[in-house]
Chains A and B, each alone.
Chain A
């Protein structure tokens, strides 16, 4: 590290890099936490635009970013390239922060984990939702048994798809770009992070030769039945509704700062607005609002940087394997979703 400041490079200058990594890198540079040194994308115009106005260099190949001696490579390229790029970085003794979905299958994930061990370099997982204050609070509440034993969780996420994709082949069959791999990764990761490994899983989607727009996952964690519905088709309120024997939590996943909590034996519930904990004269109190989504994104990347020296609470790849395995299982048990308006449609 030059002058103690970690040098960071980025591969993949698509939408997630433009919308989230670019501002996070800028913030961390301004705070003197990192030096952003190089970026690569096979689309030359995209990489040039990404580094425009920065000191980072636009590279014409993934290998070329290593000429700039990065300490950490952010892999934000399409998931199909994750394994190859992560392995190459590790082989060059460089740590990696890999955007979700981390790997297309468990074989790739295991290969990446083994390579991280063999080369003694960490791979951090870009699982942003684990850094959202509300998701962390829910984990704490569940861990403390605040709702009693959980009985059900109902999740709806999505709405008409408006992610700024760049290739007409995005939706072709087997692209790995479906709602399961996209938002489903987040849902499954949070569920496993909150509750452990599910006992059962069932999956269905509406693909008919291409990439699904709708999917439904049913899981069972002990006595708790979980239903996840993800849509790229039609908007319904995005919500996680958790019910326990004693009470309930309702959370809108795009709201990193707030959740609602109620108890069945009480007529009133609470709308919780999360704020930073602080202390004044030895008395705990609340400070400024907790991190919003973008701030959480900055925090996530910062934690990966701290992880280079063994500090921080970045999510290691080995701690985020479960959703990859579950997605693989979903593909294995996949059933076609019933689309009733198509049934018996007159020829």
Chain B
């Protein structure tokens, strides 16, 4: 029996990983969350979560105890993404974990990578977004630690991970309902999508094969799809015509100067990360009370995001050949199936799904 510790078990990918490995013969699961209250989803399956902070080596050691594999599916600020790598690596090494699987991101190649990009392409020297830079630095830290230590590790670079509880699905549905959804250039850019279960299949293959250890691997769905292919069905399911959504030009968004308000908002978001969780929860609750999701804010102007503009401008389908060759990655879910399952979740979650997708 392989015991897999899932760090970040309350998040979108982490939670689905708990469900996925719960059902896999030969695996037992140890969900790890940052706070007890985050254990609600794993609690459905009867798991008692362990509590650990990804920046705290001691709590990680306790959480990894008795586990063979650590899957790192944590989220966080750029600083947290990079800062978590040494304590996770060290704690996993100290308690005798056999392999660390790190979920990196295809965004290390930039949101809109150059044609011909593969895992072997040099990463951009200057990233346009702090998240991308942080993921690249996290990979680099992992390689440095891996060279010095003896803990095998695998790095997966998924693109746009979608599925039940994904922000690409639920977040876009919220944006549609509050009137802030848009498709840059009509959503004609390529979306390097991967259904969450396909990513977890890649995780499983990384556990079972050593051939990809220490080598970053891009993983994605088989099909080449556009952003309109991903988001259009969400719009239609909620009764919106994708064609009627605002279609700003990527060029206009990217050339626009960042308004002072947006910069202030970004600074405020950064500051929130340093506040105690109770205060952050209070601020968020106050925001929710003032602007309940699903309610349009009168006179609100849609804030087009630079990140979305870059993502929607992608002209390249990233390959998964290397993952196929080295670890036997073979995505079992087709895009249509992944989307159908995602929309079925929207309905389950209480969205007003009203028509055939």
Residues of A within 8 A of B165 (CB): 233-234
Within 8 Å by CB of A231, from B39, B342, B350, lies B350
| Cα A337 to Cα B50 with chains together (Å) | 27
Interface size of A by CB at 8 A reads 45
Option from A170, A213, A252 in Cβ contact (under 8 Å) with B41? A213
Distance between Cα atoms of A231 and B43 in the complex (Å): 13
> Is the beta-carbon distance between A162 and B349 smaller than 8 angstroms?
no
Please, how many angstroms separate the alpha-carbon atoms of A168 and B63 in the complex? 13
Residues of A within 8 A of B294 (CB): 236-237
Q: Is there contact, CB below 8 Å, between A341 and B164?
A: yes
Q: Which residue of B has the minimal Cβ distance to A168?
A: B48
User: CA–CA, A237 to B41, complex, Å?
Assistant: 20
Q: Which residues of B have CB within 8 Å of A234?
A: 165, 170, 349-350
Also in contact, A168 and B49, with CB within 8 A (given A340-B348, A345-B23): yes
Complex formed: what's the CA distance from A233 to B165 in Å?
9
Instruction: Determine if B121 is an interface residue (Cβ-Cβ < 8 Å).
Output: no
- In the complex, what distance in Å separates the CA atom of A171 from the CA atom of B36? 10
Main secondary structure of the interface of A (DSSP, over half): loop
**B45 interface contact, C-beta 8 A:** yes
Inter-chain contact B40/A252, CB cutoff 8 Å: no
Partner of B292, one of A170, A232, A252: A252
Does B150 lie at the interface of the complex (its beta carbon under 8 Å from any beta carbon of A)?
no
A209 touches B46 (CB 8 A): yes
A83 to B24, CA, bound (A): 41
Of the candidates B36, B295, B348, the one whose C-beta lies within 8 Å of that of A168 is B36
Task: Provide the bound-state CA to CA distance between A340 and B343, in Å.
Answer: 9
Q: Bound complex: CA of A255 vs CA of B348, how far in Å?
A: 25
Question: Which residues of A are found within 8 Å of B295, using beta-carbon distances?
Answer: 237
**In the complex, how many angstroms separate the beta carbon of B35 from the nearest chain A beta carbon?**
8
A347 within 8 A of B: yes
A162 touches B281 (CB 8 A): yes
B168 within 8 A of A: no
CA distance A238 to B288 in the complex (A): 11
Q: Which residues of A contact B46 (CB under 8 A)?
A: 171-173, 208-210
User: Which listed residue (B20, B39, B292) contacts A237, Cβ 8 A?
Assistant: B292
Q: Tell me the chain A residues, 191-236 only, with Cβ under 8 Å from chain B.
A: 206-214, 229, 231-236
The size of the chain B interface, using a CB distance under 8 A, is: 47
> Which residues of A sit under 8 angstroms from B288, Cβ to Cβ?
235
Asked whether any CB of chain B lies closer than 8 Å to the CB of A166, the reply is yes
Q: Which of A206, A255, A341 contacts B163 (CB 8 A)?
A: A341
Find chain A residues with CB under 8 A from B24 CB.
347
Inter-subunit contact A213/B36 (CB<8 Å):
no
Pair A207/B349 contact, Cβ less than 8 Å: no
Residue of B nearest to A252 (CB): B292
**Complex contact A210–B47 (CB within 8 A):** yes
Question: Is A166 within 8 A of B36, CB to CB?
Answer: yes
Q: For chains A and B in complex, what number of residue pairs have CB atoms within 8 angstroms?
A: 114
Across-interface contacts of B39 in A (CB, < 8 A): 168, 170-171
Interface string of A236-267 (1 = CB under 8 A from B): 11100000000000001011000000000000
Whether a CB of chain B sits under 8 angstroms from the CB of A309 is no
For chain B, residues 258 to 298, give those with C-beta under 8 angstroms from any C-beta of chain A: 278, 281, 288-289, 292-295
Question: Would B44 and A211 count as touching, CB distance under 8 A?
Answer: yes
Nearest residue (CB) in B for A177 is: B43
Interface check A55, CB cutoff 8 A:
no
Complex contacts, B48 vs chain A, CB 8 Å: 168-169, 171-172
With A207-B44, A210-B47, A231-B349 as contacts: A345 and B20 at CB distance below 8 Å: yes
In the bound complex, what is the Cα–Cα distance between A169 and B289 (angstroms)? 31
Q: Give the interface centre of A161, A164, A255, A347 by most chain B CB atoms within 10 Å.
A: A161
Q: Say whether B40 contacts A340, CB under 8 Å.
A: no
Closest to A236 in B: B350
The interface residues of chain A lying within 8 Å CB-to-CB of B293 are 235-237
**Are A167 and B44 closer than 8 Å at their CB atoms?**
no
Is A36 positioned at the interface, with any CB of B under 8 Å from its CB? no
CB distance from A217 to the nearest CB of B (A): 13
21 contacts between A and B (CB under 8 A): A162-B281, A167-B36, A168-B48, A168-B49, A171-B46, A173-B46, A206-B44, A208-B22, A210-B45, A211-B44, A231-B350, A232-B41, A233-B41, A233-B349, A234-B165, A236-B350, A237-B293, A340-B345, A340-B347, A341-B345, A345-B23
| Additional A-B contact list (18), CB under 8 Å, known A211-B40, A345-B23 | A164-B36, A164-B37, A165-B37, A168-B39, A171-B39, A171-B44, A210-B46, A232-B40, A233-B349, A235-B288, A236-B293, A237-B294, A237-B295, A252-B292, A340-B345, A340-B347, A341-B345, A347-B23
Pairs A-B, 4 closest by C-beta atoms:
A171-B43, A340-B344, A210-B46, A209-B46
